[in-house]
Amino acid sequence: MECVFGIDIGGTNIKIGKFHGDEMAESRQVKTDKGAAGANIIADVARAVREMQGDDVIAGIGVGVPGPVMDGVVLGAQNLGWKELNVIKEFEKYFPGVVIRVLNDANAAAVGEWAYGGGAGFSSFIFMTLGTGIGGGLIINNELVEGASGSTGEIGHIRVGYHNDRLCTCGLYDCIEQYASATGIVITANRLRVGRETILNEVEVTSKNVFDYAQLGDEVCLEVVNNMVEKLASALAAITNTVNPEAIVLGGGVSKAGQFLLDRVEKRFRELAFFSVRDTKFALAKMGNAAGMYGCAYEVRKKICRLRSTADR
Ligand SMILES: [Zn+2]
């Protein structure tokens, strides 16, 4: 039977899914070996894929990587130790003749959500994943937009402060990632709890605890949430004013705060966005951390279809 693989290469784990058509037949997780500047990663993936292949014929492999991607070349993925790398060429060494599609991991998750999850039914939406960092993706007219230098999803690096207060991993200051990601929420919480009466001085300061105790009425936790919501709603209003999509879909670990977060972001967004985009819909992602695998598999199937239809002509 013909299969494709959808592979999500992250800084901690690599998720590998084998697909028959739309259906995931099997999945596996491999630890990311960041030693030797990530030189072993692709060999590790190739070994796992061969083990999972069984009697199937591999028609394509879709790969999501944490960095900007142009024509199969990742321009740099600090989380993996990779500098510029032609990922298509690297995979072709192990899988000659197999169609390879490489895309940014958050872009892949956007496709997964569009095809099967929280973005289903929208022909255009902005996807934003709020995890340790912030990533994103943009679907317009049912197509992923990747940008002139493969950077359409880099919405985590929108500047939302003006005092060079928080240095970002990208080298710039005050990117929204430093305020609205799980990491950013912890920074804010650690600042605001000093000298105050709050549960945050008794429990571990995590994004989850901040949201849990905010819902129970802890005032400092609520302040942290409001602070995060302000930055997030401002950035979303700016993006929406530019792109004017049907919807905004929020995913990632922080979005597990669910409706409590969504209601607040939505309310503040409607106050900050231009009048004609105020009705933009909001939704939560549904695919969890499988979105990337599904999106990679979807995109490589699309590439295979295009190549085959060109060959038929
Ligand atoms: Zn940044």
88: part of which helix (H) or strand (E)?
A: helix 87-94
- Pairing relationship of beta strands 247-251 and 281-284 according to DSSP bridges: parallel
pLDDT tens-digit series, residues 102-112: 999 999 999 99
Q: How far is the CA of 60 from the centre of ligand 1 (A)?
A: 33
d(Cα 267, Cα 258) in Å, to the nearest integer? 14
pLDDT tens-digit series, residues 29-81: 999 999 999 999 999 999 999 999 999 999 999 999 999 999 999 999 988 99
Q: How far is the CA of 80 from the centre of ligand 1 (A)?
A: 17
pLDDT at 312 over 90: no
Residue 110 lies in a domain: no
Confirm if 240 and 126 have CB atoms less than 8 A apart: yes
Q: How far is the CA of 86 from the centre of ligand 1 (A)?
A: 24
Q: Are residues 149 and 237 in the same domain?
A: yes
Q: What is the pTM of this model?
A: 0.95
What is the tally of structural domains in the chain?
2
pLDDT tens-digit series, residues 242-281: 999 999 999 999 999 999 999 999 999 999 999 999 999 9
Q: Are residues 238 and 130 in the same domain?
A: yes
d(Cα 134, Cα 84) in Å, to the nearest integer? 21
Two structure tokens written together for 140: 């317009």
Residue 127 lies in a domain: yes
Q: How far is the CA of 108 from the centre of ligand 1 (A)?
A: 20
Q: Are residues 276 and 173 in the same domain?
A: yes
pLDDT at 290 over 90: yes
Domain limits at 276? 118-286
d(Cα 151, Cα 147) in Å, to the nearest integer? 6
Q: How far is the CA of 153 from the centre of ligand 1 (A)?
A: 12
| Type of residue numbered 213 | Y
Residue 111 lies in a domain: no
pLDDT at 163 over 90: yes
194-226: string of b/e by CB count within 10 Å (b at 16+)?
A: eeeebbbeeeebebebbbbbbeeebebbbbbbe
